Amino acid sequence: MADRDAGLKGRLNRLAGRPGFQRLAARLPFVRGHVRREGEAIFDLVAGFVQSQALAALVELRVLHLLRDGAETASALAPRLGMEAGRAEILLRAGVAMGLLDLRGGRYRTSLRGAALIGVPGLEAMISHHEVLYRDLADPVAFFRGETKTELAGFWPYVLGGEGGATEAARYSALMAESQAMVAEETLDAVSLRGVGRLMDVGGGTGVFLEHAARRARGMTLALFDLPAVAEAARVRLAAAGLGERAAIHPGSFRDDPLPAGADAISLVRVLYDHDDATVAALLAKVRALLPPGGRVIVSEPMTGGPRPNVSGDIYFAIYCLAMRTGRARSAGEVAAFLERAGFDQITAHKPRRAFVTTVVEARVPQ
Ligand SMILES: C[S@@+](CC[C@H](N)C(=O)[O-])C[C@H]1O[C@@H](n2cnc3c(N)ncnc32)[C@H](O)[C@@H]1O
């Protein structure tokens, strides 16, 4: 049966590949809508990089900010963009095609989508730092063969064991902390903290997740474990947020140091995908050994689609992790398997609401 299906699919693929067939199908009443959508989808793939670079230019030139409160013609805006009117027109029209600008009567204005984009904390910084990733991808075949010495690997030196100093920590903080609020809310919507006495966030960054968790479970105490330079930034931030008393800060490396005891729930938010399988297995074993019976672990990070690859997980995050060269994006099923091998049970992979933000898998220590 499988062979017959494969044979049929093969024949259909050969048919679909014939130019004459495409022209014919585009005229047939029941299939022409499908053919047009497929054509558009193929063209989106072809144009992807051009679109991303036009987006980067719009962000770098702050066009969505400039046009948020009032409409302008291309020639009025051009001097502020440092380009001649004709070129500005092309950039602005690209923005309209992306749905980020509206065009009416020859004047451009930021659209609702454009306003939403600049309203997402950290998103513009993320778009800007893609220049590093795109340089790494300049020779895509060499990249996939592992022949490229990627720049992105140096962009996040903290991942390699904390040799990054204060500058790297600050750079990390700006980019990570801004997006962490969204990841925190998404995570906390998926899990319940009922019954948790002490939550420890391992690799907790500057403490944004703990701050959000603290608001949802008022009686819960907090602990954050991270590399020294980052932990110091967390101490300052959490004190400023009025959580200095409630949150214990533990500097250290989960590779080399013991994790502090006392938590009955441990969260790992955007931590595992930075690390190879051996480090992940060792970290989860540490977490498991530390938690009491019934204690829970919460893993939250962007994941691949497993048997159903998707754009955010299997294109963006998987390739980003490949460029970082330290870890890999995993599916919820793979994370669950790591948790099972570490000795957890009641493993639940929550259906992601926005997989491009995060996916959450939680598990318990057997009673
Ligand atoms: C991608 S960031 C995520 C931070 C935060 N959880 C978030 O979602 O914004 C990974 C975090 O793991 C920390 N980290 C990396 N290696 C570590 C190690 N060996 N021990 C402790 N923390 C580590 C980094 O310093 C960083 O704060």
CB 110 within 8 A of CB 68: yes
Amino acid of residue 5: D
204 close to ligand 1 (CB < 6 Angstrom): yes
Task: Catalogue all structural domains in the chain, each as residue range(s) with its CATH number.
Answer: 16-119 (1.10.10.10), 135-364 (3.40.50.150)
- Which residues lie below 8 Å from residue 215, measured CB to CB, with a gap of 6+? none
Pocket test for ligand 1, best of 168, 226, 326 (most atoms within 8 A of CB): 226
For residue 302, the CA-to-ligand 1 centroid distance in Å is: 14
CB 313 within 8 A of CB 304: yes
Residue pLDDT, tens place only, 279-293: 999 999 999 999 999
In this prediction the pTM is 0.88
Predicted pLDDT at 173: 60
Predicted pLDDT at 79: 98
Query: Half-sphere exposure (CA, 13 Å, Cβ side) for 331?
Result: 10
Distance separating alpha carbons of residues 171 and 150, to the nearest angstrom: 18
CA proximity to 335, closest of 366, 290, 305, 292: 305
Query: Half-sphere exposure (CA, 13 Å, Cβ side) for 83?
Result: 14
- DSSP-derived letter for residue 10 is H
Distance separating alpha carbons of residues 347 and 361, to the nearest angstrom: 7
Predicted pLDDT at 169: 57
Predicted pLDDT at 307: 96
Predicted pLDDT at 165: 54
Distance separating alpha carbons of residues 331 and 327, to the nearest angstrom: 13
For residue 158, the CA-to-ligand 1 centroid distance in Å is: 8
Task: Compute CA distances 224 → 169, 200, 209, 259, 299, whole Å.
Answer: 16, 6, 10, 10, 15
159 close to ligand 1 (CB < 6 Angstrom): yes
Amino acid of residue 320: Y
For residue 219, the CA-to-ligand 1 centroid distance in Å is: 26
Predicted pLDDT at 236: 94
206 close to ligand 1 (CB < 6 Angstrom): no
Burial readout 333-351 (b: 16 or more C-beta within 10 A, e: otherwise): ebbbebbeebebeebebbe
227 close to ligand 1 (CB < 6 Angstrom): yes
Report residues of the chain scoring pLDDT below 70.
1-4, 157-174, 177
Predicted pLDDT at 18: 78
268 close to ligand 1 (CB < 6 Angstrom): no
What stretch of H or E contains 226?
A: strand 221-226
Predicted pLDDT at 28: 78
207 close to ligand 1 (CB < 6 Angstrom): no
Predicted pLDDT at 160: 44
CA proximity to 202, closest of 278, 283, 296, 275: 283
Predicted pLDDT at 1: 53
CB 357 within 8 A of CB 182: yes
CB 293 within 8 A of CB 345: no
Predicted pLDDT at 332: 98
CB 189 within 8 A of CB 175: no
Q: How many residues does the chain have?
A: 367
